[in-house]
Chain A
Amino acid sequence: MAFFEGVKMTGGYGTGPDIINSCSINVNRGEIVSILGPNGAGKSTAMKALLGLINLKSGSIAINGKDISKLSPQDRVREGISFVPQTKNVFAGMSVEENLEMGAYLREGDYQNIIDEIYELFPILKEKRNQLVGELSGGQRQQVALGRALMIKPSVLMLDEPTAGVSPIVMDELFDHIIKVKRTNVAILMVEQNAKQALNISDRGYVLVTGENRYSGTGKELLNDPRVRSSFLGG
C-alpha cells in the first residue's frame, strides 16, 4: 500500500459530466510521480480530486492508511498535503517572507527555523525576503510558491504544472529544486506539460487519456515505450 493514494476516483465539476473515470494514482515518500496526458485528459482534475477541490462520485483517497475522502481541502492541508496551483500560486501583494509566514499559518509556535530551511533550499528568496512577490521574475515566483507550500512541512507535495510559462533554463533550475525537495523525504506528485523533462526526473509516471489510466510505469519505461513516445512525446 502506497503512502498517499487515490483509488478508482470518478467525478467532475459540480453536476457536470465525469471528467475522471475510475482513475487511480499513488505516490510514496521520497518519490516523484508525474501525471501526463493530452489536453483535457483530466490531469489537473485528478489532482484536484486528491486535494478535495471536487466532489467524487465514487472512489477513495487515503494518506498513510487513513481515509481522507470526506475531508475538506483545509483539513487535508492539516494532514500534511500541500498544493501549488498552476496560476495565482503566490500572494503577489505581500513580501517573500510574508508569503512563507502565510504558508505556516496552521503551524503553532515558532516557525523561524523552517523559514531558514526554505532559505537554504532557495537562496535567492533570502536575498529578496522583503521584496513584494509581484515584482519577482516568473522562476523566482515559482520558488516562492514552492516555499510557501513547504512551510507546513508536508508529507505530500502536489504541483500543478510547476514549469508552465518559464524559460527552458529556469525550467531545469526548478526541476533541480524539486529533486532537492524530494530528497527531504516528501512525496511529490506533479502534473506536467513538458513530458520528456518531467519523466527524466520522475521515479514513476501515469499517462491519463479521457480521465482513465492508460499507461503507467517508471519514468524510464514510459520514456522508452513506443506507444507513449508516438502519442505524447512527439516520436
Chain B
Amino acid sequence: MDFLNAIILLLNYIFVPALTYGSQLALGAIFVTIIYGILRFANFATGDMMAFGTMVTILITWYFQSIGISLGVLPTALLAIPFAIFFMIGYMLFVDKFVFRYYRVNKSPPVQLAMVSIGVMFVTQAVVRIIIGPSDRRFFDGEKFIIKAGEFKEMTGLNEGLAIKSSQVLTIFITLILVSILFWFLNKTKTGKSMRAYSDNEDLALLSGIDPKRVVMITWIIAGILATIGGALYGLDKSFKPFTYFNNMLPIFAAAIVGGIGNPFGAFLGGYVIAFSEIFITYAYKKFFMYILPESMEPETLVQLLSTDYKFAVSFSILVIVLLYRPNGIFKGKVL
C-alpha cells in the first residue's frame, strides 16, 4: 500500500505536471527551432510573442464572456484561440514585412538578425504591458478538475490523492494533436518537404525552383499558430503574467538546443527532457521516502536537490552541458 502511495505521489507531483509543462515548452521549442532552421536566426522574441498571442486570447475570451458565450465545462479560451491565431499570424507577417525582411534581403549575418529580434522582443513586451498590464491574470473558466484529489482518495482508499486538472489534459491532448499535424505536414506534404529542403540547403532549394517567399510566409504562419496555442495553454494551466513568458525563454531555448536546433522532432522531445529534469531536481522527496523506507530510516530534511527558485539553473546547466559535449544536440540538429 505504501508503495502504491509513493507511486501516486510521484504521478501527482512529478509526472503529470512535467508532462504538461513539457508540452508547453515543446510548442515553444518547435517555434524556436523552425525559425532557426528556416530563417536562420535565434528568435529572442519567442517568449514575448507567446505572451502577445496569449493576451489576444484573453481579450477575446473576455469579450465572449461579456456577451455570454461559453463552452460549458470547457474553458471559453478554447473558443477564442482560433481567432487569436488569425490575429497572431497577422502580427507575425507584419513584423516580418517591416522588420525582419529588410535584414533577410540584405543577407545580414544571423547574429544581426538575433539582435534585431531582441528589438522586436522589447517592442512586443511593451505593447503587451501597455494593453493588458504586467499583473498576474487567470482566465480559466469551466470545470477545473477531471479527477479531484479527495475523490481519488475515496475511490481508491489510498492516502495520497491524484488530482488531474482539465487544463493539464487539454494541454497534453492539444499538443499531441498539433504536433502530429505539424509532423505530417513537414514530412508528407509537398510544401512541408520544400520547407525542410529550404532549411537543409538553401541554395539548392532555390535551384530546384522552391519559392523562398512562400517558405518564409508559411514559417511565420506556423510560428503564429505555435506561439498562440503554446502561450494560451501555459496561461490556462498556470496563469498569464508577461514576465513569466519572458523567463520561459531559457527553458524553451534549452529544449530546442538539447533536441538539436533546426530539428522539430528533437525540439518536441527536448521540451519533455527539460521539464522532467527541472521537476525531478526541484521536487522535495521527503514524503516519497517516508512511504518507501522503514520508519527508522526516514529522512530528516526535505530531500530536495535544488530549491524551486533555482529551477532555471537546471535548464541553464543542461544547456551548458549539451553545448560542451554534444553541440548538435541529442537528435542531430545543426552545430551552433
Contacts and interface: CB of A to CB of B under 8 A. Distances in A.
From A77, A89, A92, A93, name the one whose CB has the most chain B CB atoms within 10 angstroms: A93
Interface in B223-273: none
Interface string B10-23: 00000000000000
Contacts of A74: 206-207, 209, 211
Interface stretch (B98-106, B155-163, B195-203, B298-306): B195-203
Given A88-B201, A91-B200, A92-B201, A105 B207 contact: no
A206 to B, nearest CB: 23
Interface in A95-109: 98, 101-103, 105-106
B208 interface: yes
Interface residues of B, number: 16
Contacts of A4: none
Given A91-B201, A92-B201, A105 B194 contact: yes
Nearest to B211: A74
Interface residues of A, number: 21
Given A93-B196, A102-B193, A88 B209 contact: no
A205 interface: no
Contact of A93 (B200, B208, B209, B210): B200
Contacts of B211: 74
Nearest to A101: B193
B206 A102 contact: no
From A78, A90, A92, A105, name the one whose CB has the most chain B CB atoms within 10 angstroms: A105
Interface in A69-127: 73-74, 77-78, 83, 85, 88-94, 98, 101-103, 105-106
Contacts of A152: 209
B322 interface: no
B174 interface: no
Contacts of B209: 74, 77-78, 105-106, 152
A93 B328 CA distance: 14
B73 interface: no
Nearest to B333: A93
A91 B204 contact: yes
B259 to A, nearest CB: 14
B208 A90 contact: no
A77 B208 contact: yes
A92 B204 CA distance: 11
Contacts of B210: 102, 105
Contacts of A89: 204
B204 A85 contact: yes
Nearest to A103: B208
Nearest to A82: B207
Given A92-B201, A93-B200, A94-B200, A77 B207 contact: yes
B229 to A, nearest CB: 26
Interface in B163-211: 190, 193-194, 196-197, 200-201, 203-211
Interface of B: 190, 193-194, 196-197, 200-201, 203-211
Given A91-B197, A94-B193, A94-B200, 16 more contacts: A74-B207, A77-B209, A85-B203, A88-B203, A90-B201, A90-B204, A91-B196, A92-B201, A98-B196, A98-B197, A101-B190, A102-B197, A102-B208, A105-B190, A148-B208, A152-B209
24 contacts: A74-B206, A74-B207, A88-B201, A88-B203, A89-B204, A90-B201, A90-B204, A91-B196, A91-B200, A91-B205, A92-B200, A92-B201, A93-B196, A93-B200, A94-B193, A94-B197, A98-B196, A101-B190, A102-B193, A102-B197, A102-B205, A105-B190, A148-B204, A148-B208
Interface of A: 73-74, 77-78, 83, 85, 88-94, 98, 101-103, 105-106, 148, 152
